[in-house]
Amino acid sequence: MAAVTEKRRVLYRQGSGFWRMTAKWALAFGVPYLLDGGLLRSWGDALVWPMIGILLWVPFGIGVVWYPRKDQLVTLTAGELRVRRKRLPMEKVNLLHVARLWLEGRSTADGRPVAEWARLDRVVWVPLLDGRAFGVEIRDPAAFAKVFGAFAVAACGGPDVVRARAAVSTYPDPLPMRPRRSADGDGSWLDLLDVFE
C-alpha cells in the first residue's frame, strides 16, 4: 500500500484496475484452453474457451470504456490528495476531524464505523476546513480510510494530542457537496471543484 519515491512518500495509490482485471480474465480462460487443447481434446475444439471469454468480456470492456472515471488515478501523499490531474493540498483538509473519527473507529465524514463498510460503498468523504466535504471514489474504501486516518492522527501529533484538541476545538460538521458536471461535458464531476488548485 505504501511506497517510497525520490521526491515524496506515497501513502496510497490506486488506478482503474482495468488491465489487472483483463489479465485475470485472460488467465481464467487461457488455462482451460491450454489444458483442453494439450491434454483432453484438440486445439480446434479448445478454441471454445477463448471465444467464451471474449464474448463475456466484450460487454464488460464496453462498459469500462463508457465509464467516465475509468482512468481515475487517486494518490495520497503527506502534502496533497491527487484525483486524476487535480490536487487538493492537505492545508485545506480538516485533518483533526479525520483523526478524531478514525480514533473512534468511524469514517471520515458520514460517521459510519469503518468495519461496517461494504465493498459496494466506494465513496469516501474528505472533510474540508470550511465545512464542506467532497467524495472520492475508491475501489477499496476501507483500505484508503485506514491509511488516511493513520496519516491524519500522525499529522495532528498523535492520539493524545488529537483527543485534547478535539475536546476544545469547534468546527462545522462536514456537509457533503453534490457533484457538478464539467462545463466541457466530458462526464467528469471533479474537474471544476474549487477545492482543487
pLDDT tens digit string along 21-43? 788 888 999 999 988 888 888 88
Choice between 111 and 190, residue whose per-residue pLDDT is larger = 111
Same domain, 48 and 106: no
pLDDT recorded at residue 60: 76
Average pLDDT, the chain: 77
pLDDT of residue 12: 82
Domain count, the chain: 2
Domain end point (choices 33, 66, 99): 66
Q: What is the mean pLDDT of residues 74-81?
A: 89
Q: What is the pTM of this model?
A: 0.63
Would you say 28 and 53 are in contact if contact means Cβ atoms under 8 Å apart?
A: yes
Nearest to 61 by CA among 13, 15, 25: 25
Q: Is the pLDDT of residue 20 over 70?
A: yes
Query: Please, are residues 90 and 81 in contact by the beta-carbon 8 Å criterion?
Result: yes
Residues 62 and 90 in one domain: no
Cell 493524545, residue located: 160
Sheet of 80-83: strands edge to edge?
3-4, 9-14, 74-77, 80-83, 86-89
Asked whether residue 192 is domain-assigned, the answer is no
Same-domain status, 91 and 158: yes
Q: Are residues 40 and 122 in the same domain?
A: no
Residues 113 and 44 in one domain: no
Q: Are residues 60 and 135 in the same domain?
A: no
* Strand partners of residue 132: 175
Are 139 and 125 in contact, with CB atoms under 8 Å apart? no
Confidence of residue 158 (pLDDT cuts 50, 70, 90): very high
What range does the domain containing 132 cover?
A: 85-176
State how far the Cα of 15 lies from the Cα of 85, in Å rounded to an integer: 13
> Does residue 25 or residue 179 have the better pLDDT?
25
Query: Does position 103 have pLDDT exceeding 80, yes or no?
Result: yes
Q: Are residues 41 and 104 in the same domain?
A: no
Please report the pLDDT score of residue 111 as a whole number: 57
**Domain assignment present for 193:** no
Question: Do 89 and 166 have their domain in common?
Answer: yes
